[in-house]
Structure 1
C-alpha cells in the first residue's frame, strides 16, 4: 500500500479546504495516514493537521483512530445531520441566489439535502408558492410558512439523506409539472453529471428534471469535479449550475464550455 509521504507535496496557497479534500482522497487510496506524515506532506504543523482531522471527523468524512491516525469511515456517505454545518456560508449564498430566481405564484420542486433545505428557508418569504419536495429538511422549513402550499412526495425514506425515493415518489411526480426544480448533489462533473451514493437517488433526480421547465443544480465549490460515488444522473442541455465564489475557475469554464449556465452566488 503506498505511503502518503510518497505523494507530491501540495502548496499551502491552495488553502485549508483543498488540503482537507486531499486528505480525504489520500485516506481513500491508502486507508491510513498519521498526523506526522500528513504534516510533512502538506508542509504545515501537526496541530493544523489535527484541526483538519477534527473538522473532517465532525463532518462525517473521516474517522479518527488511535495515535492520531485516521481512516475512512465505515460508511463513506455522510448523514444529512453531519453535513449541515459543512460550507454553511457558501450554501446560504447559493440559497439566496436561487430564491431570487423564483417568482410569486410559481410551482416549484425541491430535492432533499442541506443546500436545498437552505433554499426552502429562503422561500418562506415568497407568497403564493406551491412547493413539492422529496426532502424532510425542506418540509420542516416550510411546514408553517404562510402563503406556501406544500406537497410531500412520499415514498421510501433514506435515513442518511433524509429524502424520499422509490416507486411511490416517482409515481407522484408523474402527476405534476413545475416551473423550476432545484436539485442537490454529492458531486457534479462536466463529463458525467450529478454524482450520488444511491442509484435510486440518481434515477429520481433525472425524473425530477424532466418535470420542470427550468432545472437548477445547487452545489458549492467543493463539490465541483468530485465523484465520491458511482451512481450518476445525467441532465439534458439547458440546465443551470448555481455555485459560490469558492468554485475553481477552471471548473466554471469547463461547465460553461459544455453549454451549462453557471451562476456564482456571492461574487458581487
Structure 2
C-alpha cells in the first residue's frame, strides 16, 4: 500500500482505537517498522498525531498526555535543550525550575553547578538535585498533582512571591502561533504567571512538538520571555515577532 493511502488509514485507526502502535501497524500494512515510524513522524509534523513511546495518539487541545509518555517524547532534543539552558545559568545564583520533563532534564545538567539555590514546585527536580551537594533546594508548597509530582495552586504562587529569582526556567504544554504560552491546568498557570513577575530573567525550554499543540489556558507570551531554548527554528512569523520583542532564540538542532 502506498504512503498516500496508508496515512489516512492510520488516522482512522487512531480515531477508532485511540492509539496506534508501530509494531501493530507494520504487521497490518505489511511494511517495515521504519516505514511506519516515518509515517507517524510525518503525521505528527502535520499536527495530526502526537508521538508517544512505541506509537502515536490523537492530539488533544484540552487534555495532556500522561507524564511517562511525555518523558519519552523527543528525549535527545530535550537533553540538547537542557545542556544549552544549563550553560546559561551562573554558579552561585538563585533559580526556579518549573514542572515539566524538559525542566527535569535541565536539573540533571545542573548537577555540576556550584552553590545554587534552586526553588521548585517539581518534586522530581528536587530529587534529582539531591545529588548536587552544594545546591540548596527549596520546595514550594502547594497541592500535589500525583500525575507528575508537581505542586500547584495559590499556595505555590504565594511561596514564589517571597523570592526574586536570578533565573526562572519555565516549560509550557503548547506554544501558539501568536506567541502565547499555553497549558492545561489553571492551577499550574497561576504559578507561571507569578514567576514572570518575580524573576530577573525568564528562560523557556520547549521542544518543537510544542509548536504543533494546543492547550486552553494562557500563561503569558513569548514577549515576556528573555530567552527560548528549542531544538528547531520557530515558524517564520513567530521568529520575526521574537526579534521585535527582544526575545533571544537558542536553537540546538
Query: Shorter-chain TM-score category?
Result: 0.7 to 0.9
Structural RMSD (CA): 3.6
Match of 2:15 in 1: 31
Relative to 1, partners in 2 of residues 1:91 and 1:252: Cα closer, same or farther, differing over 3 Å? farther
Query: Secondary structure of the residue that 2:175 maps to in structure 1?
Result: strand
So what's the TM-score if we normalise by structure 1? Answer: 0.72
Cα pair 1:255 1:261 within 8 Å, conserved = no
Cα pair 2:183 2:218 within 8 Å, conserved = yes
Match of 2:67 in 1: 80
Q: Higher relative CO (CA 8 A, sep ≥ 6), structure 1 or 2?
A: 2
How far the C-alpha of 1:193 sits from its partner, in A, is 1.6
Match of 1:15 in 2: none
How far the C-alpha of 1:139 sits from its partner, in A, is 1.0
**Aligned partners of 2:55 and 2:191: how far apart in 1?**
25
Relative to 1, partners in 2 of residues 1:118 and 1:251: Cα closer, same or farther, differing over 3 Å? farther
Alignment of 1:135-154 (within 5 A): 135-154=122-141
How far the C-alpha of 1:155 sits from its partner, in A, is 0.7
Query: Secondary structure of the residue that 2:131 maps to in structure 1?
Result: coil
Cα deviations by residue, 1:24-60 (Å, 9 ceiling, x for unpaired) = 9x67xx933898xxx9xxxx9585348849x945379
Cα pair 1:78 1:160 within 8 Å, conserved = no
Relative to 1, partners in 2 of residues 1:72 and 1:185: Cα closer, same or farther, differing over 3 Å? closer
**Aligned partners of 1:59 and 1:52: how far apart in 2?**
10
**Aligned partners of 1:61 and 1:212: how far apart in 2?**
37
So what's the TM-score if we normalise by structure 2? Answer: 0.76
Cα deviations by residue, 1:64-106 (Å, 9 ceiling, x for unpaired) = xxxxxxx679x94222222111101100011001111111110
Match of 2:106 in 1: 119
**Aligned partners of 2:244 and 2:147: how far apart in 1?**
32
Relative to 1, partners in 2 of residues 1:249 and 1:77: Cα closer, same or farther, differing over 3 Å? closer
List runs of 5+ in structure 1 lacking aligned partners.
1-8, 11-18, 63-70
Match of 2:216 in 1: 230
Match of 1:180 in 2: 167
Alignment of 1:84-233 (within 5 A): 84-227=71-214, 229-233=215-219
Relative to 1, partners in 2 of residues 1:150 and 1:251: Cα closer, same or farther, differing over 3 Å? farther
Query: Secondary structure of the residue that 1:125 maps to in structure 2?
Result: coil
Runs of 4+ residues over 2 Å off in structure 1 = 30-35, 44-53, 55-62, 159-162, 235-239, 246-258
**Aligned partners of 1:157 and 1:251: how far apart in 2?**
38
How far the C-alpha of 1:238 sits from its partner, in A, is 4.9
Cα pair 1:155 1:164 within 8 Å, conserved = yes
Residues 1:58 and 2:45 aligned together = no
How many residues are aligned here?
Answer: 228
Relative to 1, partners in 2 of residues 1:93 and 1:135: Cα closer, same or farther, differing over 3 Å? same
Match of 2:44 in 1: none
How far the C-alpha of 1:187 sits from its partner, in A, is 1.0
